[in-house]
Amino acid sequence: MTLAELIAQARTALDTAINARQQEQDALMALRSDENLTEEQARAQIERRDTADAEVTRRQEALAGLEAEQAREEELTQLQARTVPAATRAPAYDRVHRVGDEERTYRPDQDRRGAQFQQDVAAAFLGDYEARDRLARHMQEERTERGDQLQRAVGTGAFAGLVVPQYLTDMYAPLARTNRPFADACRRHTLPRTGMTVEISRVTTASSVDNQSAENAAVAEQDMDDTALSVPVRTAAGQQTASRQSIERGAGVEDVILDDLFRAYGSRLDTTMLNAATVGLSNVATAVAYTDATPTTAELYPKVIEGLAGVEGALLDQASGDNLAVMHSRRWYWMQNAMGTSYPLITQPGVVAQTLGANHAEAYGRGVRGILPNGTPVIVDNNIAVNLGAGTNEDEIFLVDRQECHLWEDPDAPMYIRAEQPKAANLGVLLVVYGYYAFTFQRQPHARKIGGTGLITPTFTGV
């Protein structure tokens, strides 16, 4: 099989891999719009998408290797045509090196300023093989006549205009963002197409049932009543104006800008859900105080159980059991640093009795990071404030029922606008990212938060 046939085969394989990857991505987007989506389903689909993505990269590298090999073969073929003399022809007189009375390649009496030498240097750099031959003969002549003076060397600094820096644009370092770990763990709903509020009916006066006092006596009756819960639809948006030169003459500038805007959108949505005044999780959760001047993980854990008991006590028969503990990464690592000999007396599924939970070793923002001793999954989110309390150095741990953490989003959010006309007079391109969303934790008020001096900046002492 020829190289051309191999390249055609590799291109077909790459196209197939790209189509397969797109199908997995489309399946992931469709899955995310399902309100009954589970963490396991999402993780499995993401793994399938990433596997397809890796296959695209492998096929792309294989094609690039074959194309590079073909280019090299063509280059060698052209070089051979230039350098191989006819079999019966004797070498030309000026192609044979002689020592003695033979004229030098570059003679000062004929070219006092060295213009021919400079022209050959430039021509050799551009690929002129005859110029390269003359320069090679000149160097051989120099070695023969002045070999003892040719031991000096120069570095790349002597050729500032020829040693060109290479910019690895595919390895640019994006700004690190907190992104949206908690938002991705919440119960997802599709945002209605119209309206700027989401209205939910909450029963606030319930029916009454009691034992009948006597036969034919009136049975208990209580008129039901509800109260509307109004959830505002919020708009998160950001923009960046880029010069047309940067987009048209740069390498991947627009993609870099959009990637940063998309991740900034996720960070803003998540931090609003956690910290917004009045309706954010930190402001609606019932406090569980942990006050301790010398906090330890062993002392904190009972507070976690107290908070979870409060969650179930508030929800009663509406509790799904799908609980979450949400904490800052500094708190999760502090809990992992603890060493001790005591362990829970009641074992839990999936947790070794002698340990204080289990770490799943997932990367930040990739879902559940681990489980606590009672089996509660942990979400690590660095949008949690760490400047709380009198000393402005405390954080909080949230305990919630995932099914009562509601987030409405458009399946296609965030949206992207690329506008050229508004900035046309300045040769600018306006890039805007925006999205609508709504959230609430008050459909069934239940959330708990652990806070206090026991959650100051942690020290990693093994306790």
Per-residue pLDDT of 260-289, as tens digits, reads 999 999 999 999 999 999 999 999 999 999
How far apart CA 213 and CA 230 sit, in angstroms, is 41
Higher pLDDT, 20 or 399: 399
**Residue type present at position 351:** V
Residues spanned by the domain of 256: 181-203+221-455
With CA atoms as reference, report the closest residue to 397 among 386, 412, 406. 386
On average, the pLDDT of the chain sits at 86
Return the pLDDT at 21: 87
Q: Would 16 be classed as within a structural domain?
A: yes
Contact status, residue 431 vs residue 241, Cβ threshold 8 Å: yes
Query: For residue 195, what are the contacts with CB-CB under 8 A and spacing of at least 6?
Result: 233
Per-residue pLDDT of 137-156, as tens digits, reads 888 877 777 766 656 666 77
Return the pLDDT at 87: 46
Q: Would 289 be classed as within a structural domain?
A: yes
Q: What is the mean pLDDT of residues 63-75?
A: 85
199, 54: one domain: no
Higher pLDDT, 153 or 460: 460
Query: For residue 242, what are the contacts with CB-CB under 8 A and spacing of at least 6?
Result: 253, 254, 257, 428, 429, 431
Query: For residue 107, what are the contacts with CB-CB under 8 A and spacing of at least 6?
Result: none
Distance of CA 396 to the CA centre of its chain: 25
In degrees and rounded to multiples of 5, residue 322 shows phi and psi of -90, 70
Q: Please calculate the CA angle 34-38-42 and round it to the nearest 5 degrees.
A: 80
Q: Would 83 be classed as within a structural domain?
A: no
230-256 as b/e, with b when 16 or more CB fall inside 10 Å?
ebebbebeeeeebeeeebeeeeebbee
Q: Would 288 be classed as within a structural domain?
A: yes
Rg of the chain (C-alpha set)? 36
Is the pLDDT reported for residue 70 higher than 60? yes
First to last CA, the chain: 66
- The pTM assigned to this predicted structure is 0.65
Per-residue pLDDT of 158-173, as tens digits, reads 777 777 787 788 888 9
Q: Would 99 be classed as within a structural domain?
A: no
Return the pLDDT at 333: 92
How far apart CA 202 and CA 227 sit, in angstroms, is 5
Q: Would 329 be classed as within a structural domain?
A: yes
Is the pLDDT reported for residue 368 higher than 50? yes
Q: What is the mean pLDDT of residues 311-331?
A: 96
Number of domains in the chain: 2
Q: Would 271 be classed as within a structural domain?
A: yes
- Percentage of the chain beyond pLDDT 70 is 88
Q: What is the mean pLDDT of residues 302-327?
A: 96
How far apart CA 407 and CA 439 sit, in angstroms, is 4
Q: In what order do the strands lie in the sheet with 448-451?
A: 286-289, 448-451, 397-401, 323-327, 377-380, 370-371, 358-359
Structure tokens at 52: 């397809």
61, 191: one domain: no
243, 372: one domain: yes
Return the pLDDT at 342: 66
Looking at mean pLDDT, say which of 152-156, 250-254, 271-275, 375-379 comes out highest. Answer: 271-275
Strand pairing partners for 229? 200
Find the CATH number of the domain harbouring 260.
3.30.2400.10
The alpha carbon torsion through 148, 150, 152, 158 (nearest 10 deg) reads 170
Q: Would 122 be classed as within a structural domain?
A: no
Structure tokens at 324: 């979450």
* Burial of 382 per CB tally in 10 Å (0-12, 13-18, 19+): buried
Return the pLDDT at 348: 59
Q: What is the mean pLDDT of residues 87-107?
A: 59
Return the pLDDT at 458: 95
Contact status, residue 375 vs residue 349, Cβ threshold 8 Å: yes
Is the pLDDT reported for residue 450 higher than 80? yes
